[in-house]
Amino acid sequence: MRYISTRGQAEPLGFSAAVAAGLAPDGGLFVPATLPDLSGRLDAWRGLGYEELAFEFLRLFADDIPGDELRAIVRGAYATFDHPQRAPLVKLAPHLWVLELFHGPTLAFKDFALQLLGRLYERQVRLSGKPITVLGATSGDTGSAAIHGLLGKPGVRIFILYPRGRVAPLQERQMACTGAANVFPIAIPGSFDDAQKIVKDLFGDRAFVAQVGLSAINSINLARILAQSVYYLWARLQLDAAGAGEVEFVVPTGNFGNVLSGWLLTRMGVPGLKFCVATNRNDILHRFFTTGRYEAGMVEPSLAPSMDIQVASNFERYLYFLEGQDRARVRTAMAGIAAGRGYAVAKPVLGPVRSVRLDDGGIKQVIARVHREHGYVADPHTACGFAAPAAGVPQVILSTASPAKFPETVTETIGVAATHPTLDALQSLPIVRHDIDGSVAAIRDFVLKHAR
């Protein structure tokens, strides 16, 4: 399978090369040149365990990796999870489920992709004999999941930028208390969007990319999107077995990668899927799906910090399909967004997508309601999903992080002490981070100094 840039000015690549590149040289994002039709495979996939389903799905895209090797990579990635089903479906009411995605090593949904991506990078280093430098930005969970996917791996240095003072304390500790020599957490002033812009600017410097062997871990990397598609497929097949018809997945999201991963299945012939985008007060995606206008505002800190984003990188992949896969139109649209003119369409929804938003007061109210009505403890991000009104079809709320990562909010709201042994162990460890000013030049110099 070949992968092309959403902007159409870069050479097509195979899977491994596209994963290694991360961002296309023309600034676009890689997408499959053609998507496979899964409709004829679903019956054969029913009843598979999570790892085997992931292998069967990913082998359609990673066709340059030998099957036995890919199967071992997948099994290794999910052996790190502490639940036998990896992504258990928890039924709360006759037409309401929670898809728990926090049973990986950092207790967040990002582990599904980044445990896999870490092993793909390990393979890349082994085959090429060349070290790589992994660079990413995080609003909280991506950084820790990426770090734990690459801890101690030979030939890999990882640099994670995050907004100083704007991630949850335990999210920072997961990044800055590893003690690993190949990990460099970098705190910068500003917001996640500022950190993400630095990352994109550095990937645009082709000489720098070549000099340090730069690779991406953010959801701009197509491997992350494809890995996340699997848990939607897993849930859909389980609900089929339970006799459910059409289902709406309610997805807390800031960077749009998580919901895009599920939505792509509708382009691959998987029936009965609807989606609701759930945002916090930083509601650029909610505004788009309700008004048709995509326009960034100011980022406001919230109780759901992983969604404190106003520039959703994966929106470009959605835009690619919205514009009929016309890459010239994507280039024009992205230039307008970059120039501050935004983007507007008369009919924003391509496929069954709606949206909902929740401010901080609403997050606490929903956490309390869900606990009162269902006895279930939701973290602040998952609470945004529970704000979606009934859709007339069964709903699956994606629980994207363990409540133990946000104990202050949970305890203050419902009086429950949300804890986890791996997080408790971090409390006594020293924080080792690098405070750097938020300029491209400063970050470039730091990476050059420590990349080898």
pLDDT tens digits along 367-412: 999 999 999 999 999 999 999 988 889 999 999 999 999 999 999 9
Q: pLDDT, tens digit, for every residue of 224-271? A: 999 999 999 999 999 987 778 899 999 999 889 999 999 999 999 999
pLDDT at 351 over 70: no
For residue 168, is it within any domain? no
**Residue 434 in tokens:** 């690098």
Per the CB < 8 A criterion, the answer to whether 355 and 279 are in contact is: yes
State the average pLDDT over residues 74-101: 97
The SS3 call for residue 258 is helix
10 domain-assigned: no
Q: Is residue 269 part of a domain?
A: yes
Which residues are bridge partners to 216 per DSSP?
135
**Measured between alpha carbons, how far is 54 from 231 in angstroms, rounded to an integer?**
8
Q: Which pair of tokens denotes residue 299?
A: 């980022």
SS3 215: strand
Question: How far apart are alpha carbons 406 and 379 in whole angstroms?
Answer: 7
Q: At 257, give phi and psi (nearest 5°).
A: -70, -40
The CATH number that applies at residue 367 is 3.40.50.1100
- Asked if residue 102 lies in contact with residue 174, where contact means CB atoms within 8 angstroms, the answer is no
DSSP string, 82-137: SSTTSS-EEEEETTEEEEE---STTSBTHHHHHHHHHHHHHHHHHHH---EEEEEE
8-38 per-residue burial string, b: 16 or more CB within 10 A, e: under 16: bebeebebbebbbbbbbbebbbbbbeebeeb
Q: Is the pLDDT of residue 349 over 70?
A: no
Instruction: Assess contact for 164 and 433: CB atoms under 8 A.
Output: no
Q: What is the mean pLDDT of the chain?
A: 94
Residue 365 lies in a domain: yes
**Residue 273: C-alpha distances to residues 42, 270, 364 (Å):** 14, 7, 29
In a domain, 20, yes or no: no
* 120 in a structural domain: no
Q: Is the pLDDT of residue 157 over 60?
A: yes
Angle between helices 141-150 and 169-176 (to 10 degrees): 20
**% of residues, the chain, pLDDT over 90:** 87
Q: Which residues contact 94 (CB under 8 A, 6 or more apart)?
A: none
Q: Answer for the pair 397, 250: CB distance below 8 angstroms, yes or no.
A: yes
Whether residue 6 contacts residue 337, with contact meaning beta carbons closer than 8 Å, is answered with no
Domain extent at residue 370: 84-108+223-421
Q: Are 338 and 415 contacting, i.e. CB atoms less than 8 angstroms apart?
A: no
User: How are beta strands 214-216 and 183-188 bridged, if at all?
Assistant: unpaired
Q: Which two three-digit tokens encode residue 337? A: 């967004």
Buried-exposed string 159-171: b where 16+ CB fall within 10 A, e elsewhere = bbbbbbebbbebb
- Is residue 406 assigned to a domain? yes
Residue 416 vs residues 119, 305, 412, 419: alpha-carbon distances, Å: 37, 20, 8, 9
Average pLDDT on 211-226 reads: 91
Task: Look up residue 24 and give its amino acid.
Answer: A
In a domain, 177, yes or no: no
What is the separation of C-alpha 139 from the centre of its chain, rounded to a whole number of angstroms? 11
Q: How many domains does the chain have?
A: 1
Averaged pLDDT, 336-350: 80
Average pLDDT estimate for 332-352 = 82
Is 348 a residue whose pLDDT tops 70?
A: no
Q: Indicate if the pLDDT at residue 352 is higher than 80.
A: no
Task: Verify whether residue 110 is a known catalytic residue.
Answer: yes
Q: Provide the pLDDT for residue 62.
A: 98
Catalytic residue among 91, 110, 200, 364: 110
Mean pLDDT of 352-363: 94
Handedness of CA 392, 87, 224, 163 (dihedral sign): positive
User: What does the alpha-carbon distance between residue 107 and residue 402 come to, in Å, rounded to a whole number?
Assistant: 6
Q: Give me the residue label for tokens 């590149």.
A: 21
Q: State the amino acid at position 311 in one-letter form.
A: V
